[in-house]
Amino acid sequence: MDRRKSLKALALGTLGGVAILDGCKPGDAKKEAANKSVADGFTLDRQPEELERYEKVVAETFFTEPEMAVITILADIIIPKDEVSGSASEAKVPEFIEFIVKDMPEHQTPMRGGLRWLEIYTFKKFNKSFKDCSPEQRISIVDEIAYPKKAKKEVAQGVAFFNKMRDLTVTGFYTTQMGGEDLGYVGNRPNQWNGVPDDVLKQYNIAYTEKENKECVKYS
């Protein structure tokens, strides 16, 4: 494929499997087949070892249904729908959390144990499970563990769990399309860099030097 054509294809966002596999040699057949086996989920270049591990990871289930229910409730408390974007569950953050704890096993015990801590703490307080609590009751518990500096010492383990839950939820949300749009990230597309926009230069009262204006590349 002509490079310039492929650049155009990239610009239009149409570079699909056809262009990517264009011109593959027979020797790549094994890899191609491996790529196709997860083609519905993957468009990334993967080594056979990576695909093998991926398939192993997704074949397992880590969280129980009750655990997933609490993860979903907490994720939506951390990232609710607002005027800018949707909620964590709308962005499939709970599914991401299920995947990432299997992919990074170091998260497993803190998450499982943290959820259990939350259940015991909730039960002692309201005599029911977190899921069965009213929204007000849930928030009252979250408020106890969501602010590390003012939280009571007795709930330090709950604070550590909520910090992890906040981390995974925020990172899971802002790495989705919905999250990226919320953030206003406008990169990851072909463009031509002509320097910082003029209004931004003005805002920060800064300017390119004469030398920079002269020596740097300009695109029209």
Partner 1 sequence: MPDFEIKKQSKEYDVVIVGSGAGGGMAAYMLANQGLKVCLLEAGADYDPAKNVTQLKNPWDSPRRGASTHFRPFGDFDASYWGWDIDGEPYTKAEGTQWDWWRARMVGGRTNHWGRISLRFGPKDFKRRSIDGLGDDWPIGYEDVKPYYDRIDKLIGVFGTNEGLENDPDGFFLPPPKPRLHEMFIKNAASKAGVPVIPSRLSILTQKINDDRGQCFYCSQCNRGCTVYGDFSSSSVLVKPALKTGNVDMITGAMAREVLTNSEGLATGISYVNKFDLMEYEVKGRTVILAASACESSRLLLNSKSPRFPNGLANNSGVVGKYLHDSTGAAMGGVLPKLFGRKRYNEDGVGGMHVYSPWWGDNKKLDFPRGYHIEYWGGMGQPAYGFGMGMQGMNGQYPVNGVQKEAGGYGSSLKEDVRYFYGAGVGMAGRGEAIPLESNYCEIDPNVVDKYGIPVLRFNVKYTEHEIKQAKHMKETFKEIMHEMGAVITWGDDGAENNYGLESPGKIIHEAGTTRMGNDPKTSALNKHNQAHDCKNLFVVDGGAFVSQADKNITWTILALSMRASEYLMDEMKKRNI
Q: Which is nearer to partner 1, 110 or 180 (CB)?
A: 180
Q: Are 122 and 133 a contacting pair, CB within 8 Å?
A: yes
Q: Which is nearer to partner 1, 177 or 220 (CB)?
A: 177
Selected from 41, 66, 105, 113, the binder of partner 1 by CB under 8 A is 41
State the distance between the two ends of the chain, measured CA to CA, in whole angstroms.
26
Supply φ then ψ for residue 92, to 5 degrees: 60, 35
Q: Which is nearer to partner 1, 32 or 119 (CB)?
A: 32
Per CB under 8 A, which of residues 195..214 are in contact with partner 1? 195-197, 199-200, 203-204, 206, 208, 212
Q: Which is nearer to partner 1, 65 or 198 (CB)?
A: 198
Selected from 34, 73, 79, 111, the binder of partner 1 by CB under 8 A is 79
Q: Which residue has the tokens 């204006």?
A: 213
Selected from 80, 105, 113, 131, the binder of partner 1 by CB under 8 A is 80
49 binds partner 1 (CB under 8 A): yes
The size of the chain, in residues, is 220
User: Is the Cα torsion angle 57, 59, 63, 68 positive or negative in sign?
Assistant: positive
Residues that bind partner 1 (rule: CB under 8 A) add up to a total of 87
181 binds partner 1 (CB under 8 A): no
Q: In the Cβ-directed half-sphere of 35, how many Cα atoms lie within 13 Å?
A: 15
Q: How far is CA 68 from the centre of its chain?
A: 17
50 binds partner 1 (CB under 8 A): yes
Per CB under 8 A, which of residues 141..180 are in contact with partner 1? 142, 146-150, 159, 162-163, 166-167, 170-177, 179-180
Pure H helices in the chain: 3-12, 17-21, 29-37, 48-59, 65-78, 93-103, 108-126, 135-145, 156-174, 177-183, 198-203, 210-215
Interface mask (CB under 8 A) for partner 1, residues 94-133, using x and -? Answer: --x--xx--xx-----------------------------
